[in-house]
A and B are shown apart, each in its own frame.
Chain A
Amino acid sequence: MAVTRDAAAASQTLGTNAAERWRQIRGRLGPWAPVLVLIALCIIVGLINPSFLSVRNMARIANSAAIPLILGLGVTFVIIMGSIDLSMEGVVAFGAVVLSLLVLNGANTYDLGVLAAFIVLMSGAAIGFLNGIIHVGFRIPSFMATLGMWFVGVGVANAILGGVTVRVMDQGIRALALERFLGMPFAVWLALAALLVAYVIQNHTRLGRYMYAIGGGEDLASLSGINVKRCRIAIFTIAGAFYGLGGIIAAAQQGAGFALIGQGRLFTTITAVIVGGTALMGGKGGVLQTLVGVLIVMVLSNGMVLMGISPYVQQIVQGVMIIVAVALSVDRTRLGVVK
């Protein structure tokens, strides 16, 4: 009898040890899981279709990743802060439409060139600022405030254009998509520059540190003297500027501005941010993780076409990938409640 009980106790201890070890492994591996997923994906797709690894294809994936990355940078900041920003499709639509009407185009006689791009950046920041003011000033949850702004953005774009598509003829803007430097379209270099800026803000400014502090625990941050409201507004403003930049590149790639140019981008972007390992609860993650997440999503969609996977199956694969990536990257053993 005693022996049996001992054996049971021993096996229980063993089980706890194994679980503990697994947790440690996962704790160390967790942050790297998205990178491993990315590498594994590249190897699998590359084995099935070697042209995946060609320089030209890498340039194409980078080109497709440029917009989700730029949008992802903005929303990563907001998510780290523990809020959410759904307004990107509205800002992209508004920005692309305004840009297409202010540069040399097929609808009117404006030809502001680079100045137009600057105006779009500033109006993106202004919409983000408005998001922040509505969220903080009127104490409206960021989900609702930015959801509203999404529709306002698309709605204004609609109202301006009345459903028409405006061709962008400004060669400088088109060059972002059509001209290359070191084999990569200019849009990719612009996205990398944006990544650098975001990285500096995140790691080398006070705002960056405050952002994590607020996401980790707003009460504590507030008690330690951080002006939480001002930080929130600043982060939303920066995010808006990134979306504006996304709108500029979207118009450059499509060669046109239209009200639905932002369509579907929110889902791709948020997926990429979460897959990269930024936690929706806030306080954890960063722009480099978002870069990895964007690359995973883009390699997967590019790879599925390269591997000849039936369109009927592609959506299933995408859904499964999201669940797997999150399961790998989030340490759920410490989560008390999952809702």
Chain B
Amino acid sequence: MSRLPNQWSNKAGRRQFLQGSAAAGAGFLAASLPGRVLGQDKVTVVNSIRSLSNPYHASWNQGGEAFANWAGADYATLVTEGNSEKGIADIKAMIAKTGGNMVLNVDPNESPDARPIVEACAEAGVYVTTQWNKPADLHPWDFDPHYVSHISFDGKPNGKAMAEALFAAMGGSGGIVALGGILSNVPAIERKAGLDAALAENPNIELLDFQVANWDPNKAYDITSAWVTRFGDQIKGVWAANDGMGISALEVLRAEGMAGNVPVTGIDGIQLAVEAVMAGEFAGTVAWDPFWQGGMGLSIPYHAKTGEFDPAAEPQDHREFYGSGIVITADNAEEFYETNIKSSPELDFADIWGRVSGQIQYE
């Protein structure tokens, strides 16, 4: 039960394991190079993420680089490639190499990983922020002051916002089909809950079918093809739990001559989706702004390390909070494209609490 933001690469466990072990050697090599050369007096800011093979984490990494430039710190990226052991081992190796003179922003591969990572950091005096995945009973205030914050994003309001944007584009009535993520995946469950909530409020919208495409664009393609046969013109809209699946659905609609007439929504805010919003083929998407996650996730523990604030004195809704997704529709797509995709976003890295939108709720 992991809370994975990366919808592109959590399919085959065996494959990930193999990829992980293949990449482990390279990762170790990369992690062991720069520190010795550059000396220990400069702070190293470290992002630990799943991989660099998807737009989401690539943008995350750029945010990290931008922050390192802003702060004048050394920058390092660690990738887990979906392998928890590698993720934890690489972080410990990095702590040893920097002698603890670092801050860490980590997207743990799986929720249970967060505890050993945080414990290792607290022991070495490393300030750390976690994102997306951590056990519900692990809290930043259990490890004052080093475990500074945990950031997540609530899938439900965003799944709902996309459903509402879709219904609006459809004119408020008709049938929709919906593509979900992996059944046991927390973001998939939350986003679906948002869709269900919007459906409950809009009795004129009928959910024709819900299918699970496992975040996989190829699977989404085949499912959408079958839907066109089963429902044909009854389909007035397509809701997808992420952009990758939504873009695939759009390509099926295009091959059937339905693109533009049947609106699609996604979530994640990847470039192709934003372009599709501008072209009037997507009714909307939500950008998590991974650039912000990669940069601000470092800025928060960095400012704690430099003594700008004392984590222990911060309220709980600064320690464990939902960030803000940016809802993109036809109204703001152009602007978002110009400022976030064509050019690197300008972030005020000193504004560390600017996107707090409430304390995380655990059921």
A contact residues around B217 at 8 Å (CB): 254, 260-261, 263
Q: A253-B221, A311-B183, A311-B211 are in contact. Are A259 and B227 (CB under 8 A)?
A: no
For B254, what are the chain A residues with a Cβ–Cβ distance below 8 Å? 178, 255
Say yes or no: A177 contacts B251, CB within 8 Å.
Answer: yes
Which partner residue on chain B sits nearest A298 by CB separation? Answer: B222
Q: Say yes or no: is A220 at the interface (Cβ < 8 Å to chain B).
A: no
Residues of chain A lying within 8 A (CB to CB) of residue B221: 64, 253-254
| CB-defined contacts of A202 to chain B, threshold 8 Å | none
Q: Is the interface of B mostly helix, strand, loop or mixed?
A: helix
Per-position 1/0 for A166-191, Cβ under 8 A of B? 01000000000110000001000000
Is A264 on the interface with B (CB-CB < 8 A)? yes
Cα-based distance from A234 to B229 in the complex (angstroms) = 41
Q: Tell me the chain A residues, 288-321 only, with Cβ under 8 Å from chain B.
A: 298, 301-303, 305-306, 308, 311-312
Q: Is B96 an interface residue (CB 8 A)?
A: no
Give every chain A residue within 8 A of B207 (Cβ-Cβ): none
Chain B residue contacts of A147, Cβ below 8 A: 18
Indicate with 1 or 0, residue by residue over A141-168, a CB within 8 angstroms of chain B CB atoms. 0000001100100100010001111010
| Contact of A165 with B226 in the complex, beta carbons under 8 Å | no
Interface size class of B (residues with CB under 8 A): 35 or more
Residues of B within 8 Å of A261, CB to CB, are 217-218
CA distance A63 to B225 in the complex (A): 9
- Residues in B with CB closer than 8 Å to A250 are 218
Identify which of B53, B218, B229, B251 contacts A163 (C-beta below 8 A): B53
The answer to whether A163 and B222 have CB atoms under 8 Å apart is no
26 chain-A/chain-B pairs, Cβ below 8 angstroms: A52-B229, A56-B228, A56-B229, A57-B229, A63-B225, A64-B222, A147-B18, A151-B18, A158-B51, A164-B58, A164-B271, A165-B271, A253-B221, A254-B217, A255-B254, A260-B217, A261-B217, A264-B11, A264-B219, A298-B222, A302-B222, A305-B211, A305-B226, A305-B227, A306-B229, A312-B183
Contact of A264 among B54, B55, B216 (CB under 8 A): B216
Residues on B with beta carbons closer than 8 Å to the beta carbon of A263:
8-9, 11, 216-218
Residue from the list A51, A255, A298 in contact with B229, Cβ < 8 A: A51
Closest 7 A/B residue pairs (Cβ) = A163-B58, A305-B226, A57-B229, A311-B212, A60-B225, A158-B53, A302-B226
4 A-B pairs besides A178-B255, A261-B217, A265-B218 with CB distance below 8 A are A254-B217, A264-B11, A303-B226, A305-B223
- A interface, over-half SS: helix
**Which of B's residues lie within 8 Å of A, judged by CB?**
8-9, 11-12, 18-19, 22, 51-59, 180, 183, 209-212, 216-219, 221-223, 225-230, 232, 247-248, 251, 254-255, 270-272, 275
Is A79 in the interface zone, CB < 8 Å from B?
no
| Alpha-carbon distance A258/B243, docked complex (angstroms) | 13
- Chain A proximity of B109: nearest CB distance (Å): 17
Contacts of A306 in B (CB 8 A): 226, 229-230
| Interchain CA distance A308-B232 in the complex, whole Å | 15
Question: Is A109's CB within 8 Å of the partner chain B?
Answer: no
Contact B53 A260 (CB under 8 A): yes
A256 touches B226 (CB 8 A): no
Question: Is A165 in contact with B229, judged by CB distance below 8 angstroms?
Answer: no
Give the distance to chain A from B140, nearest Cβ to Cβ, in Å. Answer: 29
Q: Is A267 an interface residue (CB 8 A)?
A: yes
Identity of the chain A residue whose Cβ is nearest the Cβ of B21 in the assembled complex: A151
In the bound assembly, the distance between CA atoms of A265 and B232 in angstroms comes to 27
Q: Does A54 contact B (CB under 8 A)?
A: yes
Tell me whether A254 and B216 are in contact (CB under 8 A): no
Assess the A305–B212 pair: CB atoms within 8 A: no
Contact partners of A185 in chain B: CB under 8 A: 255
Interface size class for chain A? Answer: 35 or more
- Residue pair A49, B230 in contact (C-beta under 8 Å): yes
When distances are taken between beta carbons in the complex, the residues of chain A under 8 Å from B228 are: 56, 60
A301 engages B226 (CB within 8 Å): yes
Would you call B11 and A51 a contact (CB within 8 A)?
A: no
Residue of A nearest to B213 (CB): A311
Residues of A within 8 A of B230 (CB): 49, 51, 305-306, 308
Chain B residues whose C-beta falls within 8 Å of the C-beta of A164 in the assembled complex: 55, 58, 271
A254-287 interface bits toward B, Cβ cutoff 8 Å, 1 = contact, 0 = none: 1110111101110100000000000000000000
Question: CB-nearest residue of chain B relative to A57?
Answer: B229
Nearest-CB distance from B183 to chain A (Å)? 7
A residues 15-58 in Cβ contact with B at 8 Å: 49, 51-52, 54, 56-57
Chain B residues contacting A312 (CB-CB under 8 Å) are 183
Contact, CB under 8 Å: A163 / B225:
no
Question: How far, in whole Å, are A167 and B278 apart by their CA atoms in the complex?
Answer: 15
Q: How far is the CA of A312 from the CA of B184 in the complex (A)?
A: 11
| Docked CA distance A7–B251 (Å) | 69
Report yes or no: B248 in contact with A254, Cβ–Cβ below 8 A. Answer: yes
Cα–Cα distance between A134 and B247 once the two chains are bound (Å)? 38
* Proximity bits, A102-117, B CB within 8 Å = 1, else 0: 0000000000000000
A220–B225 alpha-carbon span in the complex (Å): 48
Q: Which residues of A contact B271 (CB under 8 A)?
A: 164-165
Complex CA gap A152/B333 in Å reads 37
* B258: min CB distance to chain A, Å: 12
Smallest CB-CB separation from A311: which chain B residue?
A: B212
In the complex the two chains form, what is the Cα distance from A177 to B251 in whole Å?
Answer: 9
Residues of A within 8 A of B223 (CB): 301, 305
- Known A-B contacts A64-B225, A254-B251, A260-B8; A151 and B218 likewise in contact (beta carbons under 8 Å): no
CB-CB < 8 A to A301: which residues of B?
222-223, 226
Q: Are A165 and B225 in contact, with the CB atoms below 8 A?
A: no
Chain A residues positioned under 8 Å from B58 (CB to CB): 162-164
In whole angstroms, what is the CA distance A54 to B272 when docked? 33
Q: Give the CA-CA distance A165 to B58 in the complex, in Å.
A: 11
Complex-state Cα separation, A185 to B251, whole angstroms: 13
| Interface contact B226-A154, CB-CB below 8 Å | no
Contacts of B218 in A (CB 8 A): 250, 254, 261, 263-265
Q: How far is the CB of A152 from chain B (nearest CB, A)?
A: 9
